[in-house]
């Protein structure tokens, strides 16, 4: 069995993890194996070649992630090595094809993300668009949302709604997109 840490909120169960994700726009699980894969790939300068299947055992052995992702499959067209980004951004602004998608950041140890809780439900004013598809958001647009730190010592999986305002303050990751089957 793979090592994983249960969520900080022990009220999250396989029966309610999807609702938790829909309400907040994100879900995080600290998983040491995921962190080790990402760290080793970065250290060996092979992060771009890491495929989603390397993480399958870790994802499926975690009952919460297995339930959250059970109706989704990897979309291999959208995968990035991803590092720090100090401004808020999103990957979508409520367009219907992305509603059934989940972005997965496979986080290295010592990574730190910052999420605007619930911001995935509202269309936001875009500051600029990047060539990779990321949409930079104005900080003042997200001022009314509660913010939550996602820090990991060991690494893990940060699942986000594509339209959630978030930023990566430290660390690095491999990003994948999952779409509903």
| The 3-state secondary structure of the chain, one letter per residue | CCCCCCCCCCCCCCCCHHHHHHHHCEEEEECHHHHHHHHHHHHCCCHHHCCHHHHHHHHHHCHHHHHHHCCEEEEEEEEEEECCEEEEEECCCCCHHHCCEEEEEEECCCEEEEEECCHHHCCCCEEEECCCCCEEECHHHHCCCCEEEEEECCCEEEEECCCCCEEEEECCEEEEEEEEC
For the entire predicted model, the pTM comes to 0.88
Residue 2 pLDDT exceeds 50: no
Of the candidates 2, 5, 1, the one whose C-alpha atom is nearest the C-alpha of residue 153 is 5
CATH topology (fold) of 17-180: Jelly Rolls (2.60.120)
Which of 9-13, 96-100, 126-130, 170-174 has the least mean pLDDT?
A: 96-100
pLDDT mean over 44-60: 91
Average pLDDT, the chain: 85
pLDDT of residue 91: 84
**Which among 69-83, 87-101, 161-175 has the top mean pLDDT?**
161-175
Is the pLDDT at 104 greater than 50, yes or no?
A: yes
Here the tokens at position 41 are 């790939």
């Amino acid at each position: 069995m793979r090592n994983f840490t249960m969520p900080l909120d022990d009220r999250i169960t396989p029966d309610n993890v999807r609702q938790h994700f829909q309400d907040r726009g994100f879900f995080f699980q600290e998983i040491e194996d995921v962190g080790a894969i990402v760290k080793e790939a970065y250290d060996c300068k092979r992060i771009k070649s890491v495929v989603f299947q390397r993480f399958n055992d870790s994802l499926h052995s975690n009952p919460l992630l297995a339930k959250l992702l059970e109706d989704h499959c990897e979309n291999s067209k959208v995968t990035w090595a991803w590092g720090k980004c100090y401004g808020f951004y999103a990957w979508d602004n409520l367009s219907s094809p992305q509603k059934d998608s989940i972005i997965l950041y496979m986080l290295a140890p010592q990574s730190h993300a910052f999420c605007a809780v619930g911001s995935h439900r509202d269309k936001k004013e875009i500051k600029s668009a990047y060539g990779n598809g990321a949409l930079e958001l104005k900080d003042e647009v997200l001022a009314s949302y509660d913010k939550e730190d996602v820090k990991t010592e060991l690494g893990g999986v940060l699942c986000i709604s594509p339209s959630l305002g978030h930023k990566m303050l430290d660390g690095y990751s491999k990003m994948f997109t999952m779409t509903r089957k």
